[in-house]
Structure 1
Amino acid sequence: TSTKKKRVLRPRKALITLTSNAVDHLQALLNQPQPKLIRIGVRNRGCSGLTYNLEYVDQPGKFDELIEQDGVKVLIDSKALFSIVGSEMDWLDDKLSSRFIFKNPNSKGTCGCGESFMV
């Protein structure tokens, strides 16, 4: 008789979670006559090395991950997965600016202005 080890699956950490403010703003951005998708990625830029990048795309990339939360679909660029896994995306609207912000547990530090981060 052979004894097979049972593989225990651990719960996967969410790639990214969206706050209700982020969901509302993404819905507004995606509600267009010609529907598009929004891809979240990172670019090599800034003092600390990486910045978040959001762009409209017509089709998912070959290795993009699709996340859906509260009726909103967002793509995660495959090259950004390890940099942003577990992050929370929020929409900040204050007197000075309106922008998406990310609370990233993988970030080891940010530059002084907060535009870029390192993992």
Structure 2
Amino acid sequence: MARRPRPKPVTLSDAAAARVQEIMEERGAGFLRVGVKNGGCAGMEYVMDYALAPEPLDEVVEEKDVTILIDAKAVLFLLGSEVDYEISPLQEKFVFRNPNQTDACGCGESVTIIPAVDA
């Protein structure tokens, strides 16, 4: 019996992919690292960084000409998330749209996330 295709843990909007590509070209990085860490008043924080190479246990996702690296411990927290890039008159920022996020602090810097049930 053939297995159904596994969904990507994280996707990028067109705006996020374009901005990441611009920044990666400026910095000479080859990969976007996305994850979560413990911290903030709501319990967890999203993290984004650039990397030169994947770590041995990273989940590797190809999305709109961007290679995304996700630490294996973060995959279930990020499953189904979309990273977007928003521009307003006062700020430009990356935004996570995560179906596993249940709460956020008032300042928007930390979130509460429950791990997805891997189906």
TM range, smaller chain:
0.7 to 0.9
Q: When the two structures are superposed, what TM-score results if normalisation uses the length of structure 2? A: 0.85
Alignment partner of 1:44 is 2:38: yes
Equivalent of residue 27 in structure 1, options 5, 18, 21: 21
**Deviations for 1:23-81, whole angstroms, at most 9, x for unmatched residues?**
11011011147333220111111111111111122211111111111211111122211
| Cα distance, 1:99–1:8 mapped onto 2, change above 3 Å | same
Looking at structure 2, the residues matched to 38 and 44 of structure 1 have their Cα atoms a distance apart, in angstroms, of 20
CA RMSD in angstroms, aligned pairs only:
1.6
**Percent of matched pairs sharing the same residue:** 37
Q: Detail structure 1 runs of 4+ shifted over 4 Å in the superposition.
A: none
> 1:69-88 residue pairs with structure 2 within 5 A?
69-88=63-82
Residues in 1 aligned to 2:5 and 2:31: alpha-carbon distance in whole angstroms: 27
How do 1:52-67 and structure 2 match up within 5 A? 52-67=46-61
Give unmatched runs, 5+ long, in structure 1: 1-6
Structure number with bigger Rg? 1
Q: For structure 2, which runs of at least 5 residues remain unmatched after alignment?
A: 115-119
TM norm structure 1: 0.85
* Residues in 2 aligned to 1:105 and 1:48: alpha-carbon distance in whole angstroms: 16
- 1:63-106 deviation digits (Å, cap 9, x = unpaired): 11111112111111222111111001000111221111001000
* Matches of 1:90 and 1:20, distance apart in 2: 8
Letter in 2 for 1:26: V
